[in-house]
A = this chain, B = another copy of it.
Amino acid sequence: MSGTTPPKIASSPDHLSFECVQETCGFKGEECLCRPMHLHFEKAELRAARTIELNEGDQLAPEDFPEPVVFAVLNGVIAVESHLSDGRRSLLTLRFPGEYLDMNRADRHASGEVVALAPTSVKLVPRNVFEELLLLDSNLRRIYWRRATDIMHQQFDHSSDLGKKTPTERMASFIFELRNRMSIPRFVEEFTLPISRQSIADYLGLRAETVSRVLKSLEKEGAVKLIGKHKIAVLDFKGLRKIANGARPRLSNHR
């Protein structure tokens, strides 16, 4: 691990706990990858899967692992982070509990490092085990394909956010993305913003100051309510959805 504090191995090699942590990994019912994986626990290779605990800012560099691994997020948030040569930071993609991240590239030249944006536990599954399981279990495979295309479409949506949306629209989209991916039920208004303003900014292609201002402007027009610094409640779903879809209210409308 090339992070500041080396993350500690939490579970021993033969301690298997790939099933959902705390009853849910973030997926609903049959969409959970953990359940079908669970059926394969007897496989010796899966015993190599380890859980590591990360603090905010800890990095996971692929080179740090003897064999290629797939990261499965149990709780917390990880991101792929990249820096331009003058230091500008971007968060290219996020992964929430129940999601996996495969950073292994043939040419070993990845487009960024993996970093924890909050206290996080990550399961490391050797990549060849992952692939083998996919070959053996058609149900697992079906679920995997679905997840993979979903992730791709998420990236598409994110590109749309970054390419053509105003800061306010990006924030509105992000709120829905968060709620979906953290499985917040529709009738629950209030939820936790799991990452810092700076991280939100780096993910949305904005500055932290702009995130601040945009949140305030959304609050002023009654779409959301900020509760402390890390909680937010959606008051007007329809309105916020309209904004997210491009109903063009720019920041200055509400300064």
Residues of A within 8 A of B (CB): 80, 82, 84-86, 88-90, 92-93, 102, 104-106, 110-112, 131, 135, 145-146, 148-153, 155-160, 162-165, 169, 202-205, 242, 245-248
Q: Which residue of B lies closest to A155 (CB)?
A: B155
Contact B111 A163 (CB under 8 A): no
16 contacts between A and B (CB under 8 A): A84-B160, A84-B245, A85-B242, A86-B246, A86-B247, A92-B156, A92-B160, A92-B163, A93-B156, A93-B159, A104-B149, A111-B153, A111-B157, A159-B159, A162-B163, A163-B205
Chain B residue with minimal CB distance to A110?
B153
Copies in the complex: 2
Residue from B82, B153, B204, B245 within 8 A of A105 (CB atoms): B153
Contacts of A246 in B (CB 8 A): 84-86, 88
Once bound together, how far apart are the Cα atoms of A88 and B165, in whole Å?
A: 9
Return A71 CB to nearest CB of chain B, in Å: 14
In the complex, residue of chain B having the shortest beta-carbon distance to the beta carbon of A151? B152
| A63 CB to nearest chain B CB (Å) | 16
Q: A84-B169, A164-B205 are in contact. List 6 more A-B contacts (CB 8 A).
A: A82-B156, A92-B159, A105-B146, A110-B153, A151-B152, A155-B156
A31: nearest chain-B partner, CB-CB: B106
Given A92-B156, A146-B106, does the pair A162, B242 have CB atoms closer than 8 Å? no
| Cβ-closest chain B residue relative to A148 | B148
How far is A156 from B245 in the complex, measured between Cα atoms in Å? 22
Which chain B residues lie closer than 8 Å to A86 at the CB level? 246-248
Q: Closest Cβ of chain B: how far from A151's Cβ, in Å?
A: 8
9 A-B pairs with least C-beta separation: A84-B246, A163-B205, A162-B162, A92-B156, A85-B246, A155-B155, A111-B156, A106-B146, A88-B164
Contact A160 B90 (CB under 8 A): yes
